[in-house]
Amino acid sequence: MGFKLLSDEELIQQFELISPNVMLRAARLQLLARIVAKNVHIILSAINFIVCNCSSSCGWVAAIECDLKWLELGGKYHFSSILNSIEQIKGDPKKFQTHIRAYAASRFANLDVPKALPQYSSSVNFSSFHCTVCSKVFHTKQKLALHNFKVHNIKDPIRLYINTVHCPICMLYFHTRERLLNHVKFRSSVCKTNILLGGAILSEAQADSIDVQLQAENRALQVAGHRRHFAKDPVFRLPGPIANIVCPKPSAHHPLGIGRNYHY
Ligand SMILES: [Zn+2]
Ligand SMILES: [Zn+2]
């Protein structure tokens, strides 16, 4: 009774908070300022090369270009290009960094940019994945995989390496093939590498027939309003000896323990 629901934007405005998008923008610009201040040649020449040779509207440089436009709205700077901004930052990097901090904390900088002004609404994601067939760009591996399947009918070959619902490398039990495939494809490079080293165990026809068998299950999930990888039951680790594993990126951590690289 008497409570008023506030949207994220209203909360940010009312309590003068910094929105996550602005934090990312400010952090990216601060990094640029540090690169310029320390005169990191290799990165500066890479930026120069990308600006002069790539027309693609993705990647870190494209995100920085959007961030600079956003910073221009603060009224203190005007950048004709990213290379021009580097020249201006060189003049006084400290002043540039102070301005980013002050502007990011202002209410105006945290106003949600309407979709009608795409030139100011930079993508938070700047990593990019290219389709090798039609060279379309996607922000996540998952979106690229979906595109490959829907448009080009290409399925991930990892489906030929798995015939269980538990990961044979880390012994995690996923209950469904879809969840295990996601674990191997997107979550654990250690498991993926070791499964690939084991070689394919299914033929295309066998993998297709498993897909057909699972159609009814997937349809039922869809009807219930869930995605295919819906986690009805929690994952648990099966007992048993873990086979010797090859670690693609050796580090001080256990390759299957907390702190391993989940993303690549
Ligand atoms: Zn494509
Ligand atoms: Zn695993």
Q: Which ligand is nearest to the CA of 193?
A: 2
Total residues found in the chain within this entry: 264
Per-residue pLDDT, 3: 73
Distance 139 CA to ligand 1 centre (A): 14
pLDDT interval class at 90 (50, 70, 90): very high
Q: What is the mean pLDDT of residues 209-228?
A: 92
Distance 206 CA to ligand 2 centre (A): 22
Looking at the structure, tell me whether residues 99 and 29 fall in a common domain: yes
Structural domain for 203, as ranges: 156-237
Per-residue pLDDT, 263: 44
End-to-end CA separation in angstroms for the chain: 48
Give the C-alpha separation, 118 to 133, whole Å: 28
Per-residue pLDDT, 225: 92
Decide which of 16 and 54 is more confident.
16
Looking at the structure, tell me whether residues 17 and 99 fall in a common domain: yes
Per-residue pLDDT, 121: 61
Report if residue 141 sits inside a domain.
no
Distance 203 CA to ligand 2 centre (A): 22
Looking at the structure, tell me whether residues 12 and 95 fall in a common domain: yes
Q: Which ligand is nearest to the CA of 171?
A: 2
Per-residue pLDDT, 1: 55
Distance 146 CA to ligand 1 centre (A): 10
Q: 184 with 191: CB under 8 angstroms?
A: yes
User: In this prediction, what percent of the chain has a pLDDT beyond 70?
Assistant: 89
Report if residue 127 sits inside a domain.
no
Q: Which ligand is nearest to the CA of 189?
A: 2
Per residue in 114-149, pLDDT tens? 555 666 665 555 667 888 888 888 877 888 888 998
Q: What is the mean pLDDT of residues 90-100?
A: 94
Give the C-alpha separation, 238 to 66, whole Å: 48
Looking at the structure, tell me whether residues 62 and 14 fall in a common domain: yes
Looking at the structure, tell me whether residues 168 and 102 fall in a common domain: no
- Tally of structural domains, the chain: 2
Distance 169 CA to ligand 2 centre (A): 5
Distance 260 CA to ligand 2 centre (A): 12
Report if residue 129 sits inside a domain.
no
Report if residue 128 sits inside a domain.
no
Distance 182 CA to ligand 1 centre (A): 21
Query: What does pTM read for this prediction?
Result: 0.53
Report if residue 76 sits inside a domain.
yes
Distance 168 CA to ligand 2 centre (A): 7
Looking at the structure, tell me whether residues 47 and 93 fall in a common domain: yes
| pLDDT exceeds cutoff 70 at 203 | yes
Give the C-alpha separation, 201 to 179, whole Å: 19
Decide which of 16 and 105 is more confident.
105
Decide which of 55 and 204 is more confident.
204
| pLDDT exceeds cutoff 60 at 170 | yes
